[in-house]
Amino acid sequence: MSAKIRPDLDSIPAYVPGRNHPGAIKLASNETTFGPLPAAAKAIAEAAELANRYPDNQATELRAALADFLGVATANVAVGCGSVALCQELVQITCGAPTDEVLFAWRSFEAYPIVTQVGNATAVQVPLTSELVHDLDAMAAAVTEHTKLIFVCNPNNPTGTAVGKQQLARFLDAIPKRVLIVLDEAYYEYLRLNPQDRPDGVELGRTRPNVVVLRTFSKAYGLAGLRAGYAVGDPAVITALMKVHIPFSVNRVAQAAAIASLEARHELLDRTDTLVTERERVREALLAAGYRVPPSESNFVWLPLGTRSAEFGEASAAAGVLVRPYGADGVRVTIGDPHENEQFLHFATAPAVAAQFG
């Protein structure tokens, strides 16, 4: 007989690795197609030579660099083994009883229900609007005395939609101050809303100690394989995050690469302009072929194909392009290099495919 494991974990699906399609184009994980910049590659190599030494558990240099970049104090910044680790730690610092509620939109980031359940709390999901945007009024109305934490993924993964600054500020002000609100801004660098409407969680959080912002080096900064994300918030929240943090989980190579990438950010952020141009081109082509595609403020587009999602995903894989179907909701397609996007469009806009799915 094997050892007794928490039975409630049975309802969390075991991790299923993506199928291996040699030679296929991968537009399934919102990754950047470029390798590390030369300066980051050099920092990675140098840090690797010290692999026998533990990393700085406080990540002091990286946190100071981030604080400088963001115009906050080091005490306002925590780092995590990817921002997904910070999501789990945020549940840990706010929830202690199964009746504690974590509120988030659905569909949204697939990690939210998992970290909630792992943290022994209760997930409360509020459907997106018919426009596939966060329904902030419904979310505010869903707050109860048990609500401890709210995730707002902005722009939203997997629909790509974003809520604007004023709307978000109104929502933040409508939530009781005892509730911690997480603004997950993993795709912040791809936002192109006009400056008056552009939501910036760090700015919104300056006067609101119950707001914490998550950003990551995995997307625009191109370091998904090294695992570094960060939280910006009130020092009390940051101190608590550092208490539950798995010691040394942000390794030496990740810290060094993140510092080098932050220094070289202009080059990395310039690349997002090219990506945004491609995003708009892909969306226009899909719209012209008859698909519904909500406006995207991220590095992917969403096709709300409902029950046809799995079938579309398989047909795309057969055509050599891996995309990400989500149950009976839709398919997320990462924007890649122009030739990769072209191969996807060649498949998706072919008359027979567009007639079936568009």
Ligand X SMILES: *Cc1c(COP(=O)(O)O)cnc(C)c1O
| Nearer of residues 110 and 137 to ligand X, judged by Cβ | 110
Site string for ligand X, 127-156 (x = CB under 6 A): --------------------------x---
Before 155, cis peptide (omega within 30)? yes
Among 161, 218, 334, 341, binds ligand X (CB under 6 A): 218
| Nearer of residues 218 and 272 to ligand X, judged by Cβ | 218
Choose the binding region for ligand X from 35-43, 218-226, 286-294, 349-357 (rule: CB under 6 A).
218-226
Residue least distant from ligand X (Cβ): 82
Site string for ligand X, 222-261 (x = CB under 6 A): --x----x--------------------------------
- Minimum Å gap between C-beta 228 and ligand X is 7
Query: Nearest CA to 149 among 77, 210, 199?
Result: 210
**89: which 2 tokens?**
């730690």
Residue 214: CB partners within 8 Å, gap ≥ 6?
83, 86, 87, 182, 183, 184, 185, 186, 229, 230, 231
- Minimum Å gap between C-beta 33 and ligand X is 15
Q: How many residues sit in the footprint of ligand X (CB under 6 A)?
A: 14
Site string for ligand X, 79-108 (x = CB under 6 A): ---xxx------------------------
- Minimum Å gap between C-beta 187 and ligand X is 7
Stretch (H or E) spanning 279 = helix 265-288
Assess 122 for contact with ligand X (CB under 6 A): no
The strand ranges marked E within the chain are 25-26, 77-80, 101-106, 122-127, 147-153, 180-184, 211-216, 229-232, 300-303, 321-322, 324-326, 330-334
Assess 109 for contact with ligand X (CB under 6 A): yes
Give the integer Cα–Cα distance in Å for 114 and 52. Answer: 33
Site for ligand X in 23-82 (CB under 6 A): 30, 82
- Minimum Å gap between C-beta 4 and ligand X is 30
| Nearer of residues 55 and 80 to ligand X, judged by Cβ | 80
| Nearer of residues 30 and 74 to ligand X, judged by Cβ | 30
Give the integer Cα–Cα distance in Å for 244 and 127. Answer: 31
- Minimum Å gap between C-beta 89 and ligand X is 12
Site string for ligand X, 316-345 (x = CB under 6 A): ------------------------------
The answer to whether the beta carbons of residues 164 and 199 sit under 8 Å apart is yes
Q: Going by DSSP bridges, is the β-strand pair 180-184/147-153 parallel, antiparallel, or unpaired?
A: parallel
- Minimum Å gap between C-beta 347 and ligand X is 24
Instruction: Catalogue the long-range contacts made by 100-103 (C-beta closer than 8 Å, 24 or more residues apart).
Output: 100/146, 100/148, 101/144, 101/146, 101/147, 101/148, 101/149, 102/147, 102/148, 102/149, 102/150, 102/151, 103/139, 103/142, 103/143, 103/147, 103/149, 103/150, 103/151
Assess 216 for contact with ligand X (CB under 6 A): yes
CA angle 241, 248, 255 (to 5 degrees): 90
Could you tell me the sign of the dihedral formed by the alpha carbons of 13, 10, 88, 210, in that order?
A: positive
| Nearer of residues 219 and 324 to ligand X, judged by Cβ | 219
Choose the binding region for ligand X from 116-124, 216-224, 278-286, 312-320 (rule: CB under 6 A).
216-224
Residue ranges binding ligand X (CB under 6 A) = 30, 82-84, 109, 153, 157, 184, 186, 216, 218-219, 224, 229
